[in-house]
Amino acid sequence: MVALVAIVAVLLIVISAVQTLKIAELWAINKGKVIYEVTQKQNKVQALLMLVFLVAYFAFFAWQVWKWGDLMLPVSASEHGVVTDRLLNITYAFIIPVFVITHIFLFWFAYKYAYNPNRKATFFSHSNKLELVWTIIPSIALTVLILFGLSSWNEIMTPVDSEKEHVLIEVQAQQFSWSARYAGADGKLGRAGVEFIEGVNAMGVDIKDKNSKDDKIVRGEIHLPVGIPVQFVFRSIDVIHSAYMPHFRAQMNCVPGVKTQFNFVPTITTEEMKKITNNEDFNYILLCNKICGAAHYNMQMDIIVESKEDYEKWLAEQKQFAEN
Amino acid sequence: MSATHHHHEEQDFLFKYIFSQDHKMISKQFLITGFLMGFIGMVMSTLFRLQLGFPGESFWAIDFFLGSWAENGVMAPDKYLALVTMHGTIMVFFLLTAGLSGTFSNLLIPLQIGARDMASGFLNMLSYWFFFVSSVIMLISLGVEGGAASAGWTIYPPLSALPQAIPGSGLGMTLWLVAMAIFIASSLLGSLNYIVTILNLRTKGMTMTRLPLTIWAFLVTAILGVLSFPVLLSAALLLIFDRSFGTSFYLSDIYIGGQVLEHSGGSPILFEHLFWFLGHPEVYIVLLPALGITSEIVSTMSRKPIFGYRAMVTSILAIAFLSVIVWGHHMFVTGMNPFLGAVFTFTTLLIAIPSAVKVFNYITTLWKGNIIFSPAMLFSIGLVSTFISGGVTGLILGDSALDINIHDTYFVVGHFHIVMGLSAIFGMFAGVYHWFPKMFGRMMNNTLGFFHFWITIVCAYGVFFPMHFLGLAGVPRRYYTNSEFPLFENMIDINELVTWFAIVAAFAQLLFVFNFFYSALRGPRSSQNPWRANSLEWTAPVEHIHGNWPGEIPEVHRWAYDYSKVDENGEYISGEDFISQVVPLGPNEKDGGH
Ligand code: HEM
Ligand SMILES: [Cu+2]
Ligand SMILES: [Cu+2]
């Protein structure tokens, strides 16, 4: 009932507004010359609004940057993230001027060339020179962006050299939680698959595989040593999830039936980041970023980046798979 | 087609209004059905914006509209996803594919190329009725056990394949797939008809290079649809097999609900490839008609030829060609081979070139024009703005190295709503305001149109611009609420602001709805050529007659853009600032803007 009353009320408001407008319009038509179904007066007002909008739009943009700029992600906490952040800034340096300049032309021309009965529009239908110019300039700019982008991309996607010192972690997603498995002293992850899932063995690790024995399974949080490459392997046991670690500029889908990988070098410890962000409660997180079910919005795990010594101490405290 | 012999036949009501085979009537049917679906999609978005702006708070509107989906006026998390899924599906396919193409291809193709009707009126009618049935099934799916499909409009398996994973993947998903299969049939019938009509039924003198840009856009859109929709159909069929007949195209190694499933050997990634092989061209299926419509309007209302006609046609073709080889940019972080990712980055960024050419050509058309700000013109200028604003952020998303960190965040939501959603909807509004006199023989109210435009563009940017900031702060999309993460605590202000803008935007659309229906019934009668435009549709009488022109179909002698053409003395050649396409060329006149 309330709903009905509200709807009727809204309709009434709209209708009365319309009636008022109609009267205003009739009045305007009587006053001004009608050109192409629009009165000259209306046309002038609209032209002016073009300028007003231009200014307001830029002001809104600036206001947002000023107001929300600090809410954006802090400096990248991974090595490659610094590079991609720089690429992002270069891209901004290209697209923001394009955005601003084209908008100025668009709305300024609209304002300036509003209908004037004493003027004729210029019959200007094409110019090969102009069109060549604005094909070539974007092409050059794009070439730069593409080259820079692709070289970073290739570097980021190359797995860690297995000879080098690194940490190997398998992250497993399921509705709606994460678990992780560290490779242990042998540096190798044992076999795993959904067919081995049973009771406490929620990650489905194959007990018979000798590489499994020293693997370490953790839930709730993972620890990473600062400055050492971390090689992640991702799995999912039900639907697609995505492991998103925004502070490290890292993301990879977790796909059932397929193993995916990503790697990065953490560069800033959690403690340091607390200072940088001026936030005592700061914590790195890993969150799910692919629609995966009702509780998709709450599928998270903490990440703690610490010195190598602290990391090793923590890892030593974790139980080996064989002990379970 | 021998439409002429129908000419004097008495048509009873049923065949005139319901099972009409007349393109003008079918166009109106598409428009009304599309808008109705769009309105429902918009109400959905307002409801889930309420939840996002004021998470967990109770609202009578949510209670009223959602009933059992929302206990005590708070929507359930899985129903939030159902709403987002249906909103996306409805907006992309029902409003902006069928609604937009269906309306304007049908209305304008025969009228602008000089044909009595579509090549096959019967298939055309079928196309509408398939669309109608598909809409009804999609709406019915909202009410079934378990709720509507909830796996996102992209319906990635396994989520969409397993009812154990989310309730909406039960009957709701089945109906979604059935509805989409019928929808695709509708789209194919329509597209084939458009293509054949444009290629075969042009009137004398209407060469391809004299076609208005609208027609070029519709032609290329239809070709894209014919190439890509069947792939979606096969993706959907395989999904139906996996869901109902135990096959494993997309499924493998799954443990859910306490048991291991039998499926093995499939890959969800295969589905993603098939889906996006349609999904990306779909963006342009939505966008190109809007670009065609606004090119026409910008030229007419600037009283100037469209700048760079050939470049505009070439860029439509280039965009369409590139659009079928970029689908992988939606899959950079699926674990695809990095080399493949590099190729897709390359092709994706290339699209920026023809897009930039289009923007510059629009702007140059305004330059030194004599601009009349009809509501249609306002929305066309608005489209250029949204096409730029949303287009530039595509350079960030298309760059694989950058996409890693913003993929699936609100940055994406901001980007695609502006570049695809707003541009297409602005194009659609522009088209309705401009061709309303052609459809209904009456004029829409300008003042209401002005208010509609300004409130809409302000609120639209108010809704979608801040979303980029959310995304850059790492906020994922398809989240029921952001309040589970301390990291996103400060985002609540942004979300609230966005929701307020969304509410005002939604109410502003009532201005349009009112204007539309009021003007259709009571608006002032229009003259035959209210905008003083060159193209052929304005040579047809205001009253709709079967066969479009009472006598012979007019012959075409020039392109559609001879606005403000002057002779050596600087006087208008025709005495007026426009020359209809049916006027023969003068002795010293050259065609095509030379
Ligand atoms: C009233 C204006 C609109 C508002 C307030 C609105 C708002 C939203 C929001 C908040 C989302 C959820 C994003 C997420 O969680 O991922 C969304 C999704 C979406 N919207 Fe809109 N939208 C509007 C109009 C449109 C239009 C015109 C289109 C047409 C292209 C559109 C297409 C989509 C699509 C495709 C999705 C993605 C659905 C999915 O994630 O499965 N929306 N919209
Ligand atoms: Cu998840
Ligand atoms: Cu795409």
Q: Are residues A171 and A258 in the same domain?
A: yes
In a domain, A220, yes or no: yes
Task: Tell me how far apart the alpha carbons of residues B455 and B213 are, in angstroms, rounded to a whole number.
Answer: 29
Task: Tell me how far apart the alpha carbons of residues A304 and A272 are, in angstroms, rounded to a whole number.
Answer: 11
Give the closest ligand to the alpha carbon of residue A243.
2
Q: Which two tokens stand for residue B364?
A: 């140059």
Calculate mean pLDDT across residues A99-108.
97
Which CATH number characterizes residue A295's domain? 2.60.40.420
In a domain, A10, yes or no: no
Domain covering B22-539 in this structure, CATH number: 1.20.210.10
What is this model's ipTM? 0.93
Task: Tell me how far apart the alpha carbons of residues A228 and A226 are, in angstroms, rounded to a whole number.
Answer: 6
Residue A20 has pLDDT above 80, yes or no: no
Q: Are residues A151 and A218 in the same domain?
A: no
Determine contact, residues B42/B509, Cβ cutoff 8 Å: yes
In a domain, A297, yes or no: yes
Which ligand 1 atom is at minimum distance from the Cα of B460?
Answer: 2
Beta-carbon separation of B399 and A250 below 8 A: no
Helices (H) and strands (E) in chain B, counts: 18, 4
Bridge-partner residues for B75, per DSSP?
Answer: B70
In a domain, A17, yes or no: no
The C-alpha of A62 sits at a distance from chain B's nearest C-alpha, in angstroms, of 11
Q: Which two tokens stand for residue B391?
A: 């287009």
Residues of A in contact with B308 (CB under 8 A): 125-127, 131
Q: Are residues A90 and A225 in the same domain?
A: no
What is the whole-number distance in angstroms between the Cα of residue B408 and the centre of ligand 2? 12
Q: Are residues A40 and A177 in the same domain?
A: no
- Percentage of residues in chain A with pLDDT exceeding 70? 89
Give the closest ligand to the alpha carbon of residue B481.
1
Q: Are residues A172 and A297 in the same domain?
A: yes
The domain of A305 spans: 167-323
Of B93, B161, B76, B159, nearest to B131 (Cα)? B93
The C-alpha of B592 sits at a distance from chain A's nearest C-alpha, in angstroms, of 8
Task: Tell me how far apart the alpha carbons of residues A197 and B537 are, in angstroms, rounded to a whole number.
Answer: 68
Determine contact, residues B301/B375, Cβ cutoff 8 Å: no
What is the whole-number distance in angstroms between the Cα of residue B417 and the centre of ligand 1? 7
Instruction: Tell me B328's DSSP state.
Output: G
Q: According to the model, what pLDDT value does residue B382 have?
A: 98
pLDDT in tens, chain B (594 residues): 344 444 445 556 677 777 788 999 999 999 999 999 999 999 999 999 999 999 988 888 888 888 888 888 889 999 999 999 999 999 999 999 999 999 999 999 999 999 999 999 999 999 999 999 999 999 999 999 889 999 999 999 999 999 999 999 999 999 999 999 999 999 999 999 999 999 999 999 999 999 999 999 999 999 999 999 999 999 999 999 999 999 999 999 999 988 999 998 899 999 999 999 989 999 999 999 999 999 999 999 999 999 999 999 999 999 999 999 999 999 999 998 999 999 999 999 999 999 999 999 999 999 999 999 999 999 999 999 999 999 999 999 999 999 999 999 999 999 999 999 999 999 999 999 999 999 999 999 999 999 999 999 999 999 999 999 999 999 999 999 999 998 898 899 999 999 999 999 999 999 999 999 999 998 899 999 999 999 999 999 999 888 999 989 999 999 999 999 988 888 898 888 899 999 999 888 888 777
Determine contact, residues A230/A264, Cβ cutoff 8 Å: yes
Count how many domains chain A has.
2
Give the closest ligand to the alpha carbon of residue A254.
2
Rounded to the nearest angstrom, the gap between the alpha carbon of residue B76 and the centroid of all alpha carbons in its chain is: 30
Task: Tell me how far apart the alpha carbons of residues B345 and B440 are, in angstroms, rounded to a whole number.
Answer: 46
The sign of the CA dihedral B407, B410, B413, B416 is negative
Residue A176 contacts B where some CB pair is shorter than 8 Å: no
Q: What is the pLDDT of residues A74-101, one digit of tens each?
A: 999 999 999 999 999 999 999 999 999 9
Nearest to A296 among B466, B478, B594 (CB): B478
Q: According to the model, what pLDDT value does residue A28 have?
A: 53
Task: Tell me how far apart the alpha carbons of residues B134 and B142 are, in angstroms, rounded to a whole number.
Answer: 13
What is the whole-number distance in angstroms between the Cα of residue B249 and the centre of ligand 2? 22
Q: Testing the interface with B: which of A64, A103, A232, A290 to mutate, by most B Cβ within 10 A?
A: A290
Residues of A in contact with B435 (CB under 8 A): none
Give the closest ligand to the alpha carbon of residue B158.
2
Q: Are residues A275 and A191 in the same domain?
A: yes
Calculate mean pLDDT across residues A178-182.
94
What is the residue type of A305? V
The C-alpha of A314 sits at a distance from chain B's nearest C-alpha, in angstroms, of 25
Of B157, B541, B473, B258, nearest to A64 (Cα)? B473
Q: According to the model, what pLDDT value does residue B5 have?
A: 46
Residues of B in contact with A197 (CB under 8 A): 255, 260
pTM for the full model?
A: 0.93
Residue B532 contacts A where some CB pair is shorter than 8 Å: yes
Beta-carbon separation of A194 and B255 below 8 A: yes
Residue B590 contacts A where some CB pair is shorter than 8 Å: no
In a domain, A105, yes or no: yes
In a domain, A12, yes or no: no
Q: Which two tokens stand for residue B226?
A: 């014919």
Residue B178 contacts A where some CB pair is shorter than 8 Å: no
The C-alpha of A75 sits at a distance from chain B's nearest C-alpha, in angstroms, of 11
The sign of the CA dihedral A276, A280, A285, A290 is negative
What is the whole-number distance in angstroms between the Cα of residue B92 and the centre of ligand 1? 9
Which ligand 1 atom is at minimum distance from the Cα of A291?
Answer: 40
Q: Testing the interface with A: which of B169, B402, B418 to mutate, by most A Cβ within 10 A?
A: B402
Which ligand 1 atom is at minimum distance from the Cα of B509?
Answer: 1
Of A262, A320, A317, nearest to A286 (Cα)? A262
Residue B408 contacts A where some CB pair is shorter than 8 Å: yes
Q: According to the model, what pLDDT value does residue A250 have?
A: 96
Q: Are residues A92 and A137 in the same domain?
A: yes
Task: Tell me how far apart the alpha carbons of residues A96 and A93 are, in angstroms, rounded to a whole number.
Answer: 6
Q: Are residues A175 and A75 in the same domain?
A: no
B493 contacts: CB under 8 Å, gap ≥ 6:
none
Q: According to the model, what pLDDT value does residue A26 have?
A: 59
Calculate mean pLDDT across residues A273-282.
94
Q: Are residues A142 and A187 in the same domain?
A: no
Rounded to the nearest angstrom, the gap between the alpha carbon of residue B300 and the centroid of all alpha carbons in its chain is: 22
Instruction: Tell me B141's DSSP state.
Output: G
Q: According to the model, what pLDDT value does residue B7 have?
A: 46
Q: According to the model, what pLDDT value does residue B2 have?
A: 42
Q: Which residue bears the tokens 């009727």?
A: A8
Beta-carbon separation of B447 and A292 below 8 A: no
Residue B244 contacts A where some CB pair is shorter than 8 Å: no
Q: According to the model, what pLDDT value does residue B589 have?
A: 84
Q: How long a stretch of residues is chain B?
A: 594
Of B4, B1, B99, B2, nearest to B42 (Cα)? B99
Task: Tell me how far apart the alpha carbons of residues B165 and A115 are, in angstroms, rounded to a whole number.
Answer: 60
What is the whole-number distance in angstroms between the Cα of residue B413 and the centre of ligand 3? 13
Calculate mean pLDDT across residues A224-253.
96
Q: Cα angle at B501 between B495 and B503, to 5 degrees?
A: 100
Residue A177 contacts B where some CB pair is shorter than 8 Å: no
Beta-carbon separation of B374 and A37 below 8 A: yes
Task: Tell me how far apart the alpha carbons of residues B421 and A243 are, in angstroms, rounded to a whole number.
Answer: 28
Task: Tell me how far apart the alpha carbons of residues B424 and B154 are, in angstroms, rounded to a whole number.
Answer: 19
Task: Give the A window 119-138 contacts with B, CB below 8 Å.
Answer: 119-127, 130-131, 134-135, 138
Bridge-partner residues for B476, per DSSP?
Answer: B409
The C-alpha of B7 sits at a distance from chain A's nearest C-alpha, in angstroms, of 33
Q: Which of B40, B43, B87 to mutate to test the pocket of ligand 1 (most atoms within 8 A of CB)?
A: B87
Determine contact, residues A222/A304, Cβ cutoff 8 Å: yes
Residues of A in contact with B352 (CB under 8 A): 138, 142
Residues of A in contact with B265 (CB under 8 A): 257
The C-alpha of A185 sits at a distance from chain B's nearest C-alpha, in angstroms, of 27
Beta-carbon separation of B407 and A3 below 8 A: no
Q: Are residues A36 and A145 in the same domain?
A: yes
Determine contact, residues A14/B511, Cβ cutoff 8 Å: yes
Q: According to the model, what pLDDT value does residue A186 have?
A: 85
Q: Are residues A149 and A225 in the same domain?
A: no
**Does residue A40 sit in helix, strand or coil?**
helix
Q: Please provide residue A114's backbone torsions phi and psi, each rounded to the nearest 5 degrees.
A: -60, 155
Q: Are residues A146 and A173 in the same domain?
A: no
What is the whole-number distance in angstroms between the Cα of residue A291 and the centre of ligand 2? 6
Residue A159 contacts B where some CB pair is shorter than 8 Å: no
Q: How long a stretch of residues is chain A?
A: 324
